Amino acid sequence: MNDNKGYPPIEPIAAGLKGRCPRCGKGRLFSGLLSIAPDCDECGLDYSFADAGDGPAVFVILIIGFIVVGLALWTEVSFNPPLWLHFMLWIPLTLVLSLGGLRLIKGVLVTLQYANKAAEGRLDR
């Protein structure tokens, strides 16, 4: 899987955050907002190995949940705004941060998966 023949080493976290190919660092990793492309349009790397699973969603829930709940509690204690204002503030913020965070974290997890040659476990017989 990690066959960097002729390609310089790529920093996986930087490539993942930019949504770039884990092998060449130039091609696009995503074909849509969260859809992984079938292959790299620059070096031809097949992205069929890419399976981030539920990892990105778990990280987003934990990180964005911590931020939004902390800010909502601080706002409630400090200013005691009406309930409608809480809805107007926290629902859009949660949606924007979650969608942006999902793409970033999914890109990082896929590039780290490639860099570390991570694959599904197999039994040798």
Residue 3 has what pLDDT?
64
Q: Is 25 helix (H, G, I), strand (E, B) or coil?
A: coil
Neighbours of 47 (CB within 10 A): 20
Quote the tokens at residue 49.
């190995």
Half-sphere exposure of 11 (CA within 13 A, CB side): 4
Cβ atoms 46, 38 nearer than 8 A: yes
pTM assigned to the model? 0.86
How would residue 2 be classed by pLDDT, with cut points 50, 70 and 90?
A: low
CA distance 89 to 81: 11
**What are the tens digits of pLDDT across the range 52-101?**
889 999 999 999 999 999 999 999 999 999 999 999 999 999 999 999 99
